Structure 1
Amino acid sequence: MTSTALISLIASSFVVGVSLIEACWLTWKNRNTHARFQWHEVWLSLVDLAGRKLLAFLPLSLATPIFALAWEHRIFTVTLDSALMVMLLFVGQEFCYYWYHRCSHRIRFFWATHAVHHSPNQLTLSSAYRLGWTGKITGSAMFFAPLVWLGVRPEVVLVTLSLNLLYQFWLHTTWIPKLGWLEYVFNTPSAHRVHHASNATYLDANYGGVLIVFDRLFGTYVEERDEEPCRYGLTTPTRSRNPLVVELEHWVSLARDMKSAPGWWTALAYVFQPPGWRHDGAGETTEALRERARVG
């Protein structure tokens, strides 16, 4: 086993182990309440993780040739031999992650995978590793190709992204309160609860990975408010306990909408327009849901 594979195994074992400890604790904590812990959400996340580990062996990555092209035509060759270079890589990766994450919510092609991460109807640590089986096929890692073009080795970019996702593991909790001044700089559990909420006023917000500063700069930061508790899951909740349905339902609905489109241009629009968009104007985009909530 390579050192990279060993580190991945240790990290995966850690996050799964801690998430199961949290699940047991929440089960005990809520044993006498109506808010019973939903164990099937944990099992669905575990199936998702296992599926992604198996699919990793298949050479199906759309981002691989893009990374190779970017590296071949790189304008520099970056060596991480100083604290400044490490910091620049961190900030650059955060910038790319912000736009990857924002596009994953605003372009239906990427949302079809990312919606799987938002499908749990309860927010727990196990939600962190439900990421969808089709990420490699959609080539979402291509958003980080600018770093490779600038001269950062592809494997370094991917390791940095893995560390970013590992940081986000602890954000998927409902029991950690706001963290004072840290809320202004870092992505925190409070900020990420808003990101996972399906309330109309909370939709499409707080896209940051480790930092929240790009959300503040680009106007997508929304603060968690006590008077509006977060309601987790999708705006149309996923109720199925069948992992195939959870993983593929948004691809099926996309294909159905494209098939029913009146022309090829409209069919293509379904791929690139935001989730909820319909050519007849009867859809439920974030903007339409917010307007409905405001009027109501």
Structure 2
Amino acid sequence: MPDFPNIILYAIPFFILAMLLELYITTKQHINTYKTKDAFSSIAMGLGNVFLGFASKTIVVLVFFWVYDNFRLFTIPVAWWSFILIFFADDFAYYWFHRVSHECRLFWASHVVHHSSEHYNLSTALRQTWSGSFYTFIFWLWLPLLGFHPAMILLQMSISLLYQFWIHTEAINKMPKCFEAVFNTPSHHRVHHGSNPIYLDRNHAGILIIWDRLFGTFQPELEDEKVIYGLVTNIKSYNPIKIAFVEWWQLLKDASTGRISLKHRLLYLFKPPGWKHDGSGKLSHDLRQDWLKENEN
């Protein structure tokens, strides 16, 4: 097995220094981006994710090796060109994982954690799920099936996660146009964290923004539409336990209470957030279309 370093652990000192630097820069720019309780909640969520990651990573590694050892179609060597291939393959997998996490409530129940802050800064990048790591890896199962070694897959997933840290900031306005055209940037990702109707469920990119441009989910940051961070209905809590599990509780409640059919109970798992069996709910698509009609002039 290739001996790749755990780059996330090595990056922890960088995370701390980067947050201190961002706090200094945004304070000088008079950008009120940090709130103490919110930042500590994000850090607590990140620490919980790391601790639970020891268990979830064991499951992921075992499943990846089971697929790789028993079902792989090819054997892709660990070489410079295979790292180029897995860079694009992993980023493609991440796009669809991220998009489905916004369009299917079963996945949203864990991903909502990352969007629960009403502030946007580098500490927000650390606000990670405590539950999703145990099942969202299914979006990457085709990689060991294709023949990529599990160690390569895990390394590239870590590289993607590391890249996405720096884009959680208001300290950087725009990157050069050529960079903005290809890569995910702070501007693109601010849109993704917006609760404004025009920004909902847009820009699902990991590293490359090309997937959003290709599959119709790209939305540029508008100069006259300041991003409002958080959820359509915010959690309003700094309690890490509540942040981690409130949407699971709400999902269970919606799917189990009331006199509804088994079909509708199951649909609560797979329909998008906002869906209601009686038609009273509004999806992000509906909110976006309403906004576009109101602002068409």
TM-score (norm 2): 0.90
Q: Is the 8 A contact 1:27 1:37 kept in 2?
A: no
RMSD: 2.1
| 1:6, distance to aligned residue in structure 2 (A) | 5.9
Q: Is the 8 A contact 2:33 2:170 kept in 1?
A: no
Instruction: Please give the alpha-carbon distance, in whole angstroms, between the structure 1 residues aligned to 2:51 and 2:64.
Output: 22
Q: How many residues in Structure 1 have an aligned counterpart in Structure 2?
A: 289
1:265 matched to which residue of 2?
Answer: 263
1:284/1:13 CA distance change after superposition, 3 Å? farther
Instruction: Please give the alpha-carbon distance, in whole angstroms, between the structure 2 residues aligned to 1:146 and 1:53.
Output: 25
Deviates more, 1:238-247 or 1:19-28: 19-28
Instruction: Please give the alpha-carbon distance, in whole angstroms, between the structure 2 residues aligned to 1:287 and 1:192.
Output: 19
1:164/1:29 CA distance change after superposition, 3 Å? same
Q: Is the 8 A contact 1:67 1:142 kept in 2?
A: no
| Pair 1:16-2:22 in alignment | no
1:61/1:80 CA distance change after superposition, 3 Å? closer
Instruction: Please give the alpha-carbon distance, in whole angstroms, between the structure 2 residues aligned to 1:167 and 1:258.
Output: 37
Identical aligned residues as a percent: 38
1:230/1:254 CA distance change after superposition, 3 Å? same
1:46 matched to which residue of 2?
Answer: 43
Amino acid at match of 1:259: S
Amino acid at match of 1:192: H
Structure 2 unaligned regions, length at least 5: none
Instruction: Please give the alpha-carbon distance, in whole angstroms, between the structure 1 residues aligned to 2:219 and 2:117.
Output: 21
Deviates more, 1:46-55 or 1:200-209: 46-55
Amino acid at match of 1:67: F
2:237 matched to which residue of 1?
Answer: 240
Query: Of residues 72, 75, 78 in structure 2, which corresponds to 1:74?
Result: 72
| 1:88, distance to aligned residue in structure 2 (A) | 1.3
Instruction: Please give the alpha-carbon distance, in whole angstroms, between the structure 2 residues aligned to 1:39 and 1:131.
Output: 18
Q: Is the 8 A contact 1:61 1:136 kept in 2?
A: no
Amino acid at match of 2:283: T
TM-score (norm 1): 0.90
Q: Give per-residue Cα distances to partners, 1:208-230, cap 9 Å, x unaligned.
A: 11111111111111111101111
1:113 matched to which residue of 2?
Answer: 110
SS of the residue 2:165 aligns to: helix
Amino acid at match of 2:254: D
1:218/1:225 CA distance change after superposition, 3 Å? same
1:26 matched to which residue of 2?
Answer: 26
Q: Is the 8 A contact 2:33 2:121 kept in 1?
A: no
Structure 1 unaligned regions, length at least 5: none
2:89 matched to which residue of 1?
Answer: 92
Q: Give per-residue Cα distances to partners, 1:22-65, cap 9 Å, x unaligned.
A: 235435654xx8x4731111101111111122213336866455
